[in-house]
Structure 1
């Protein structure tokens, strides 16, 4: 009885131990499966981000009344391209774009839309990634080329982000993945390789035409109705007036603004930062610290220029004129008067 009891107890202990080993093995298997799934879908967040961003960028351009407005509008494709041309290493290509600006502007917008949709749906993923990389390469070599330091130029970051998708494609949760799995089933049924490839190419082409048609329709509708909405004049009950300054005019000590230096104050009407500068001895003026390109804050004057860290625009510290794009409009200028040892910010000149 004692030996039998020991045997039963031993079996029970072995069973408990086996269950423990089996449970640990199951956890290890599930962890391995989770890691495999995570690795398989590791590029999905990047793919979604790039796809959504490019679709949004395309529709934003097509709905913007300024984008195709022409050289008279500083926010148009023509003005931005002209501003970037002087300092770009691909100025010869930008010159060709300026010869047919409407065609090139629409090609950029609809190209972004095609890239975005192809990336989101996973249709010809490597081709879409190549298109996205080429778009961002051209933007880096034009709009972002003068940005310093280089890592502030977002187009270079986007260019690098396309590289993993260019190498790996879009094999999962995609049209490409579906066509590849169907091709595998066709091979298993004994279909010849030429027929399998032809079927995949034809069906991929049909999907591309369908998605492209939907994209063109969406883009055209966005351009028609979006631009009309954005360009419609806003009606107001009373004419707009410039806010009146409140309180005394901002002032700084004259000694705090050496020749070539600056001091910062705020426009009492808008709250925007303004640099009071002395480009030459006894010559004072105020320059808005808000970049006219996209509203970023420009750095304080240095070496006779004000630099915008967002996209690389540079402005003359004496006049506010554009030295380097993509900005095309000068910084707004203020009068500055001296009263004893004080410098007082005056009204906006331009």
Structure 2
């Protein structure tokens, strides 16, 4: 009886026995359903793999990402802006002390996770890494997004959870190694020998893929990334603080349609001094009112948040596009000779 039951099962070559698929119209329907079930997570796997590979390379190619505290779009500045609003803000302190190390760790981590997922190599380990990255971003960048479904890191975390449960058994290096292990068992190799061969070959593939990713990331950072331009935080002489807490900047450093960056001495937040029209000056907080990210300098009459896409009017700070609902806080700016003095927050 047990032998007959055994013979009624078929093997897919990976050691997992599958029931035979009946023939005929009903059998073809069942076959399509089985095929759909087998590859149901393939679109999610491709999306996550491509997205995280692109995200890692995009960071390495971004001239602002490693620019340091002088650039409001850098990893350091974004982490500093997220720290007061994060439930794990205290844990971000090491990243502020060694921003270059942690910035590169995240960028190359995303690239490694993406490539591992795309090629299906150690798929569950890659999914675990992707889940940890998404959880970190959720707790720092998008934790305070309201309503929660507007933040994109939580859906990524759920996607990685599905990949962690399912692994990458099909159209993958993991699947190839599993099928070969099944053939090795059928040839009579011992379980220890099969496991050792799988681990060694998987490690060789991981080293090769990791080396390719490291080379690709290094080439991207070397030949594509450009140095940050001074316009990201104003040009010319840096802003100065005089008279205790008085902050000023040279008027020549604030072109029409442009900005210079100063710091609110009361809060430590970055502030853009802008000149939307000739002779018209204003100060706008650089901290997005949605989730606390640092908005980009004005361009085309707008201030854009790189985290969730909110846009603000560069003259008034009014919300042009959500998810933000509150305008950017405004500051008084007065001209004193050839300098612009930052006044108190008005709204």
Fold shared, TM-score > 0.5 on shorter chain? yes
Could you say which residue in structure 1 is the equivalent of 2:105? 107
Q: Give, in whole Å, the separation in 1 of the partners of 2:188 and 2:320.
A: 66
- Which residue, out of 23, 35, 38, partners 1:37? 35
Q: Give, in whole Å, the separation in 2 of the partners of 1:242 and 1:125.
A: 52
Q: What residue ranges of structure 1 are gaps of 5+ in the alignment?
A: 1-23, 234-240, 244-266, 270-274, 276-286, 322-350
Matches within 5 A, 1:212-223: 212-223=210-221
Q: Contact 1:88–1:141 at 8 Å: present in 2 too?
A: yes
Q: Contact 1:54–1:116 at 8 Å: present in 2 too?
A: yes
Q: Contact 2:60–2:225 at 8 Å: present in 1 too?
A: yes
Q: Does 1:296 align with 2:300?
A: no
Deviations 1:299-326 (A, max 9, x none): 9xxxx9969744x6965544399xxxxx
Could you say which residue in structure 2 is the equivalent of 1:144? 142
Q: Does 1:319 align with 2:331?
A: yes
Could you say which residue in structure 1 is the equivalent of 2:196? 198
Q: Give, in whole Å, the separation in 2 of the partners of 1:229 and 1:40.
A: 46
3-state SS of 1:319 partner: strand
Matches within 5 A, 1:122-271: 122-228=120-226
Q: Give, in whole Å, the separation in 2 of the partners of 1:151 and 1:320.
A: 36
When residues 187 and 162 of structure 1 are mapped into structure 2, their CA distance, relative to the original with a 3 A threshold, is same
TM-score of the superposed pair, with normalisation by structure 2: 0.64
Aligned length: 247
3-state SS of 2:141 partner: coil
3-state SS of 2:140 partner: coil
Q: Does 1:82 align with 2:94?
A: no
Q: Give, in whole Å, the separation in 2 of the partners of 1:25 and 1:109.
A: 50
3-state SS of 1:123 partner: coil
Could you say which residue in structure 1 is the equivalent of 2:44? 46
Q: Contact 1:78–1:101 at 8 Å: present in 2 too?
A: yes
Shift of 1:292: 3.9
Q: Contact 1:296–1:308 at 8 Å: present in 2 too?
A: yes
Q: Give, in whole Å, the separation in 1 of the partners of 2:218 and 2:150.
A: 33
When residues 229 and 103 of structure 1 are mapped into structure 2, their CA distance, relative to the original with a 3 A threshold, is closer
Q: Give, in whole Å, the separation in 1 of the partners of 2:229 and 2:206.
A: 33
3-state SS of 2:226 partner: helix
RMSD: 3.3
3-state SS of 2:331 partner: coil
More helix by share: 1
Shift of 1:297: 2.9
3-state SS of 2:171 partner: coil
3-state SS of 1:59 partner: helix
Q: Contact 2:312–2:318 at 8 Å: present in 1 too?
A: no
